Structure 1
Amino acid sequence: MSFSDFAAPLWFAFALVVLALTVGYLLVQWHRTRQTLRFANMELLETVAPKRPGPARHIPVALGLIGLLALTVGLAGPMADKRVPRNRATVILVIDVSLSMQATDVTPSRLAAAQKAAKGFVDDLTPGINLGLVTFAGTASLMVSPTTNHDQVTTAIDHLRLAERTATGEGIFTALQAIETFGNLLGGGTEPPPARMVLESDGKQTVPANQDDPRGGYTAARLAKSKNVPVSTISFGTTWGKVEIPRQQGDGVDEVPVPVDDAALQQIANLSGGNFFTAASLADLRSAYSTLSDQIGYETVRGDASRPWMILAAVLIAAAYTASLVLRQRIP
């Protein structure tokens, strides 16, 4: 800790007053002892005052001086980093609802696990955050516009429905549009509120096939970066996941592999400035969401940390007066 960690370091000069009081007290005690020994009849003194003052008589003064030192630190205005809940921040939860989410490589299914973990994420977010929900398959839909009423998002998560194909880029574009619209409606500042996106997907983008297409995931991630909206991605599922697709002609079903696409989702996070997570189970998914909730829901700010020192000073000075009354029957 240095002087730069204090708002008013000049108050440390008050410590010189505390030092002067300490020296003065020691000199008074020394002078008093010397005078007593010089003029007292020792035989008579032992008779009338067999019990001499013990070290306990110094406790009130010691407590008072330490209290003044604590007060000095408090007056100097110590500063410290504090984690405080974010306000006005906008978060869009973007969830993949393509047919691959019905795979059962994650118990009981990818979709059911995703719903449970996402609702836990919603519950953990601080109340002041404006939360929205976007779902995407072949197209993307804004299910819930950003709102502090998080119950709306929870209800929407309970009613997710699967559809064909996967358009990851459309999900990001739709979320960015929702963030921009909400920022314009919110107003109240020279800059839009800070925004972040959490995208959970389990498979490879199929619409369009090229991630660098104008509507592809990488293009959307670059746009998010330019708008200062990090996209944190969660790759959810395993490499051996499969789904059963009814045959278009004839009876029966075909087993179609639906492995996760870690590389693409990690690239989206890298391009946008977000974080990348992998989750092969409900526990993994909850852990990823928990980390994101902590990152998104709170911010670290530099703030005043003098209160504990002022409380300590008050307690010590009060203790000094109490000890003086108990030990010496008078206030120093």
Structure 2
Amino acid sequence: MLDLTWPWFLILLPLPFFIYFLPKTKPKGDAIWWSNTELLVHHQDMKSVAHHSYLTPLLLALAWVLLVFAIARPFWLGEPTRVAPSGRDLLIALDLSGSMQIKDMELNSQIANRLEAAKSVLADFIQERRGDRVGIIVFGSKAYLQAPLSFDTATINQLVQEAQIGFAGEQTAIGDAIGLGIKMLEDKPSDKKVLILMTDGANTAGRVQPKQAAAFAASQGVKTYTIGVGADSMEVQGFFGPKTVNPSSDLDEALLQDIADQTGGQYFRARSTEDLRNIYSLLDTLEPTPSQEVWQRPKTSFFHWLGLASILLFGLALLSSGQISWRLRRSL
């Protein structure tokens, strides 16, 4: 459907025609004297040129019409289309420290390390967050923004899959990861700030203490869910044969529980890939994406096309006027 933003500008359309038909000034004399007959012949040539001069007013009139319509801002209103509604701003902080390479998880019936299991589960989780802006923080000895908040979940997923152990250092800076998450969620509505922190260790690096970061997150309304990753036992080959060890002995569950409690989130324990899947399914329930349908009608503006056409016609009118003037000078 074609519509105008400022239709009242169309009252300017007849303005040049009113000016054109204003009373003209009458010449003082009624007779024209010719000194010889050659000038009369030239006068006939001038009348022929004047016949072609109607092109200039026509071009000017068309240029004026297009200019007025351009100022009125015409646009085409398309058919209604459904768009994903705006949901939460959700940051995922992923631990890339050296301990994430421990192979105490199972993925597709194969032994896998913790990061591989986390990537697999995150791929499905992020794909389902349509309507939310998702971002990724990776942390080790330091915390880095891997992907800013974006509705482009496909690109976010790709960046998650590209993350590798050791990218951010071998240690674990939990406090710095929370601090960076708070910074990235500044100026967002308080009921839409969500941080999911996934780690397999204790805070061993960084400038910010995790409890201080959690207190600040609580004051900023950043709800933080924490996930402790790692099996309780695994069999390893020792000097005297296989033995069972606890690969998650370094996991600081008390700290992760305290961070979740301070910020209004929850702490989850993931001892297997299946636990991770269940946790992220639960997070989908706790932090659902918006379900209300949102419709919009796309607008296509014609302002620039009409404005350009008007300028071109004005230019042609000037060229036409200049050509006629040159022919007049040549005939005289």
TM-score by length of 1: 0.54
SS of 2:287's equivalent in the other structure is helix
Q: Which runs of structure 2 are paired with 1:193-272 in the superposition (5 Å)?
A: 194-208=192-206, 215-240=208-233, 258-259=248-249, 260-272=251-263
Q: What code does the residue aligned with 1:170 have?
A: D
Q: What code does the residue aligned with 1:217 have?
A: P
Distance 1:196 1:120, change over 3 A: same
Does the Cα contact within 8 Å between 1:243 and 1:257 map onto a contact in 2?
Answer: no
Shift of 1:257: 5.2
Aligned length in residues: 193
Q: Measure, in 2, the Cα distance between the counterparts of 1:193 and 1:278.
A: 25
Shift of 1:299: 6.2
Distance 1:300 1:122, change over 3 A: closer
Structure with the greater alpha carbon radius of gyration: 2
Q: Which runs of structure 2 are paired with 1:83-122 in the superposition (5 Å)?
A: 87-107=86-106, 108-122=112-126
Shift of 1:88: 3.9
Aligned to 1:176: 182
What do the CA deviations read for 1:9-32 (whole angstroms, capped 9, x no partner)? xxxxxxxxxxxxxxxxxxxxxxxx
TM-score by length of 2: 0.54
Does the Cα contact within 8 Å between 2:92 and 2:137 map onto a contact in 1?
Answer: yes
Shift of 1:217: 1.2
Q: Does 1:135 align with 2:138?
A: yes
SS of 2:135's equivalent in the other structure is strand
87-96 or 280-289: which moved more? 87-96
What do the CA deviations read for 1:284-311 (whole angstroms, capped 9, x no partner)? 001001111222224699xxxxxxxxxx
Aligned to 1:34: none
Does the Cα contact within 8 Å between 1:115 and 1:158 map onto a contact in 2?
Answer: yes
Root-mean-square deviation (CA, aligned residues, Å) is 2.7
Q: 2:283 aligns with which of 269, 284, 292?
A: 292
Does the Cα contact within 8 Å between 1:103 and 1:241 map onto a contact in 2?
Answer: no
Q: What code does the residue aligned with 2:180 have?
A: T
Distance 1:242 1:236, change over 3 A: farther
Aligned to 1:60: none
Shift of 1:242: 9.5
Distance 1:150 1:95, change over 3 A: same
What do the CA deviations read for 1:179-235 (whole angstroms, capped 9, x no partner)? 117x4xxxxxxx567210111111111115xxxxx7011111111110111100111
Q: What code does the residue aligned with 1:173 have?
A: G
Does the Cα contact within 8 Å between 2:93 and 2:138 map onto a contact in 1?
Answer: yes
Q: Measure, in 2, the Cα distance between the counterparts of 1:156 and 1:243.
A: 32
SS of 1:104's equivalent in the other structure is coil
Aligned to 1:148: 151
Q: What code does the residue aligned with 2:185 have?
A: I
Q: Measure, in 2, the Cα distance between the counterparts of 1:261 and 1:243.
A: 22
Does the Cα contact within 8 Å between 1:241 and 1:258 map onto a contact in 2?
Answer: no
Q: Which runs of 5+ in 2 are unaligned?
A: 1-83, 107-111, 238-244, 293-332
Identity across the alignment (%): 27
Distance 1:297 1:100, change over 3 A: same
What do the CA deviations read for 1:134-163 (whole angstroms, capped 9, x no partner)? 010000010111010011210011111222
Shift of 1:87: 2.2
Q: Measure, in 1, the Cα distance between the counterparts of 2:103 and 2:288.
A: 31
Shift of 1:113: 0.3
Q: 1:167 aligns with which of 164, 169, 173?
A: 173
Does the Cα contact within 8 Å between 2:88 and 2:289 map onto a contact in 1?
Answer: no
Shift of 1:116: 0.5
Q: Which runs of 4+ in 1 moved over 2 A?
A: 85-88, 238-244, 255-261, 297-301
